[in-house]
Amino acid sequence: MNFKSKCRVENKEVGIAFNLSSKANKTLTLSAKRAERAKKREGKLRLEDHLKRFPNWSL
């Protein structure tokens, strides 16, 4: 795979689905309202931020 095709693959977005606890859902909902964003967008931004700041985090 050359660099050009590798970049295309890395920039492609994928969809994911998962369940949240009711407490996490409430926190996300309130955060989205404060930021005037949709809850889906807020969740995406928060997940991307966490993965950038803690790329090698494990339990």
Distance CA 43, CA 20 (A): 11
Residue 1, pLDDT score: 45
Tokens of 28: 């996300």
Tokens of 2: 């050359």
Which tens digits make up the pLDDT trace of 10-56?
778 899 999 999 999 999 999 999 999 999 999 999 999 999 999 99
Distance CA 22, CA 52 (A): 25
